[in-house]
Amino acid sequence: MTLFAPEELKAVLGSGLLSFPVTHARDDLSFDEDAYRDHVSRQAAAGPSGVFAAGGTGEFFALTPEEVDRVVRAAVASVPGDTPVIAPAGYGTAQAVAMARAAEAAGAHGVFLLPPYLTEAPQEGLIAHVRAVCAATDLGVVVYHRANAAFGFDAVQELADECPNFVGFKDGIGDVDLMTRIHARFGDRLLSIGGLPTAETYALPYLEMGVTTYSSAIFNFLPDFALDFYAAVRARDAAAVYRKLNDFVLPYLDIRNRRAGYAVSIVKAGLAVTGLHDRHRV
């Protein structure tokens, strides 16, 4: 399988739409590896620029570390060599470091660092957390700016200066000021990724802040629609983007917002509607 140096990974991920596949489960909620492999193979065949295994849509929060490793290895085995697989890391620093090392051993091409579990941390604590994970692996690291991992500009700058393999910053907060500053200051040094729930909603205005790609949960069950939407965004075809928002994305949001937890459930419902039924753990 092709290996991606951090700089190569950054360039590849920024060139297209990102797939965040769900993690398939059996009736007893154990990992259904065969169904997952089939799904990831279909996702990869549709042409995303990267596959993020066991991410937020993949229910990282509901999997044991051993299951995460199985999911990552299954994803690596299911995609062609020119499609990078990004593995998750999270929880406390020691666990995140262990997961980053496991990702590298599993053949993943990058690490997606999710927020630490529960405890808020000052900026120096977040810096130390990311620094430790970056030091533990040669893989490129994408940091998720969300919840209790809310980074200020100075923290991002310090990490970018100190950690060469810190290559991506995914915004899950909607901090326009921060994303504008990052793009103005760093340019191509960091890949900015749209990571708000149902990122299609914000994709067009975010493009002006240098956010050339985003995570698409919709890609799980409507890959052609998701790719067409992304192409319209990159072409700055506002009429097409807003037509697609009104035709599908905004009604989809109305359902998603009915109840806490539906952000993942609605994706799995989409799989059921399209004939690829699945279950989730929460």
- Residue 196 identity (one-letter amino acid): L
**pLDDT tens-digit map of 78-136:** 999 999 999 999 999 999 999 999 999 999 999 999 999 888 899 999 999 999 999 99
**Residue 19: is its pLDDT beyond 90?**
yes
**Which uninterrupted H or E stretch holds 168?**
strand 166-171
pLDDT tens sequence across 188-218: 999 999 999 999 999 999 999 999 999 999 9
> 223: which strand partners?
none
Catalytic residue among 170, 214, 244, 252: 170
User: What's the chain's average pLDDT?
Assistant: 95
From the CA atom positions of the chain, what is the Rg in Å? 17
Q: What pLDDT score was predicted for residue 119?
A: 84
Does residue 91 carry a catalytic annotation? no
d(CA 211, CA 214): 7
C-beta of residue 56 within 8 angstroms of C-beta of residue 91: no
Q: Are 137 and 101 in contact (CB under 8 A)?
A: yes
Beta-strand runs (E) in 10-160: 18-19, 50-52, 85-89, 110-113, 140-145
pLDDT the model gives residue 203: 98
pLDDT tens for each residue of 223-270: 999 999 999 999 999 999 999 999 999 999 999 999 999 999 999 999
Q: Facing residues of 141 across strands?
A: 111, 166
**For residue 230, is it within any domain?**
yes
Asked if residue 20 is part of any domain, the answer here is yes
Q: How far apart are CA 131 and CA 137, in angstroms?
A: 11
pLDDT tier, 1 (very low <50, low <70, confident <90, very high otherwise)? very low
Q: Is residue 41 part of a domain?
A: yes
Q: How many domains would you assign to the chain? A: 1
2 is in an annotated binding site: no
| 170 given a catalytic annotation | yes
Please give the residue range of the domain that contains residue 138.
6-274
With respect to residue 226, please indicate whether it lies within any of the assigned structural domains. Answer: yes
> Which tokens is 141 given?
């690291």
Asked if residue 1 is part of any domain, the answer here is no
279 assigned to some structural domain? no
Give the 3-state secondary structure of residue 208: coil
* 114 assigned to some structural domain: yes
Predicted confidence at residue 3, as pLDDT, reads 81
In a domain, 245, yes or no: yes
CATH at 179: 3.20.20.70
Q: What is the pLDDT of residue 277?
A: 60
Asked whether the CA dihedral 46, 50, 52, 56 is positive or negative, the reply is negative
Catalytic residue among 10, 36, 144, 214: 144
Residue 81, both tokens: 């060599």
